[in-house]
Amino acid sequence: MIIQPGIAKANMGVSREDVTFEDHPLNPNPDSRWNTYFRDNEVLLQIDKDVRRLCPDISFFQRATEYPCLLILDPQNEFETLRKRVEQTTLKSQTVARNRSGVTNMSSPQKNSAPSMNEYVVLPNGCEAHWEVVERILFIYAKLNPGIAYVQGMNEIVGPLYYTFATDPNSEWREHAEADTFFCFTNLMAEIRDNFIKSLDDSQCGITYKMEKVYSTLKDKDMELYLKLQEQNIKPQFFAFRWLTLLLSQEFVLPDVIRIWDSLFADSNRFDFLLLVCCAMLILIREQLLEGDFTVNMRLLQDYPITDVCQVLQKAKELQDSQ
């Protein structure tokens, strides 16, 4: 699924000439494997951009994995790694640019840009960083699930899963981190995929309905706070969209995210419990929210101040027990 069509067939014993004759990069047929390859590159570039900035506060994803995919990295196979494919695609798309008056400009892609904080140190040949493994998981998921493909934010869902498996103390289990993560990510996405499908936003299973549910729960539990947020016209879309779609993975540091997910995944109505966790987060900062104006409150909600996740989970459990 991730290698060039010509190379794949050539390695099955079909000569390169036959492959090129049958299907080639300029083949206009929409079913052409090369056409698919180029379309896939658009998805891959977005995934690549997102996985390179995964958990920037820890160095884990930049480090080399002990268990790289040897099939792809073996130089005898002539397989192109996804990293290489991205580099070549970026180079091609940035080198030639046509301006609005129709003049074509040739430019060096990285010429004047200072190295960005998001740029990882390139590992030597034969090595593979953890972020590259995550990239492969997301790319193959997108290929197998064309109806949803890849949506920005999925990288934040797969990150904590992969980290958990890839740091397992048992080396035998660590070795299968990529496959285990893919399996768990696919199962988790089967439950939360509706959050990522824009056409379902306003349906009963979509994200808008769930955001409204956070507010209706808050209304039951703390009418005063609910009215204050309504009065300031602070809509749940402003903060709860990210909380719910990314399962709070952007609101807390990674070890705390894993702790929250333990509670979410252990609950049979886990995504109902997520609504209660969001509600608990609001109630725990109610005094600040009641005193603050729109700007102060938006800052509080978009950069959540409480770091003790046990306190948040305890409050959510209290809300659950009082239902």
DSSP codes of every residue in 62-92 = GSBPSS--HHHH-GGGTPPPHHHHHHHHHHH
Contact 46, 17 (CB under 8 A): no
Pick from 143, 138, 245: nearest CA to 194: 245
What per-residue confidence (pLDDT) applies to 114?
40
CA-to-CA distance for 207 and 213, rounded, in angstroms?
Answer: 10
What per-residue confidence (pLDDT) applies to 216?
94
Return the CA Rg of the chain: 23
In the structure encoding, which two tokens stand for residue 8, read together?
């794949």
What per-residue confidence (pLDDT) applies to 106?
42
What per-residue confidence (pLDDT) applies to 115?
41
What per-residue confidence (pLDDT) applies to 293?
96
Angle at 143 between CA 249 and CA 208, to 5 degrees: 45
Pick from 228, 233, 252: nearest CA to 242: 252
Contact 165, 173 (CB under 8 A): yes
pLDDT tens string for the chain (323 positions)?
Answer: 776 655 544 455 444 444 444 555 555 565 666 667 777 888 899 999 999 989 988 999 999 999 998 888 877 777 778 888 887 766 554 444 444 444 444 444 443 334 444 556 678 778 899 999 999 999 999 999 988 899 999 999 999 999 999 999 999 999 999 999 999 999 999 999 888 887 777 776 778 889 999 999 999 999 999 999 999 999 999 999 999 999 999 999 999 999 999 999 998 888 889 999 999 999 999 999 999 999 999 999 999 999 999 999 999 999 999 87
What per-residue confidence (pLDDT) applies to 24?
57
CA-to-CA distance for 195 and 154, rounded, in angstroms?
Answer: 11
What per-residue confidence (pLDDT) applies to 200?
73
The packing angle between helices 207-221 and 223-231, to 10°, is 130
